Amino acid sequence: MTPSQKSNVLIAGCGAIGHAVGLALLRDGHDVWGLRRDSGRIPPPIRPLKADVTNPETLQNLPPVIDSIIIILTAGKFDDAAYARTYVGGTKNLLAAFAAQGIRPARVLFVSSTSVYGQTNGEWVDETSATQPLDFSGKRMLEAEEVVAGGPYPHVIIRFAGIYGVGRIRFVQQVRDGTAAFDPTQVRYRNVIHNDDVVGIIRHVHAHPRPAPLYIGVDDEPVAAHDLVQWISSQLKIALPPIRPVSIQPGRRNPGNKRCRNMRLHDAGYAFKYPTFRDGYDAIIAAM
């Protein structure tokens, strides 16, 4: 059985994105299990599975019928220990549990991040570009990717950039409140993706009969951060925020400066619901 046919899917890390992916796959005719620590928060008809990927003892009774695994983990804290425990250790534990129980999924789809790229001068990057992450988050995500790639199952990795959309409107709120970083003299590119397209990409790649092993999940148009602030301010019909340079702080999530290409997704036949930041943020601002 291939993932493009009716199959049994386990979503490990069934949070907001996982919920949406699971419901989409159910509509496609698949049977879906959702794994998370607080299984009571998993909406039916997704089948809840109470387990913690950081605790191997909770992974001893996985459904034996699983055909594919979608891993969408979230670290509880933004620090190196939490990232290592969740993304690296949790992925190792999950794949080891499947192997120990003799379950052979046809595909593992792992949700990663463009933080694995360390380019800082506005370079264009694609799936063939060097991965030299500059901070612990990118380094741990790359380690987790290596766990998946070195595992016993066929795999696909999707590196998503900054996700925005319903429930993720913090940047618009910062622009509206005048607290967004804004410096027209500093060109620093942002790569974004609407959460509806995150769900759509995962669904599309899961159904693809012969996917590439790696995709970059971004929209069609990287945008300079100050241009994005100016555009959102114009749409909101408010004054620009005061000039406030981007603050780079050790140990914090810092903005990169690269331009990510999504051509491989287009070549795979994916059609974006929100091809650019204008399309996506227009919908958010209209709703606000």
pLDDT at 248: 59
Which helix or strand (DSSP H or E) is residue 147 part of? helix 136-149
Please provide the distance, in angstroms rounded to a whole number, between the alpha carbons at the two ends of the chain: 44
What distance in Å separates the CA atoms of residue 202 and residue 204, rounded to the nearest whole number?
5
pLDDT at 1: 44
pLDDT at 245: 76
Low-confidence spans in the chain with pLDDT less than 50: 1
pLDDT at 244: 81
Q: Which fold has domain 8-165+192-221+257-273?
A: Rossmann fold (3.40.50)
CB 111, CB 247: distance < 8 Å: no
What are the structure tokens assigned to 100, written together? 């120990």
How many CB atoms within 10 Å of residue 220?
15
pLDDT at 288: 80
What distance in Å separates the CA atoms of residue 48 and residue 66, rounded to the nearest whole number?
14
Please provide the size of the chain in residues: 288
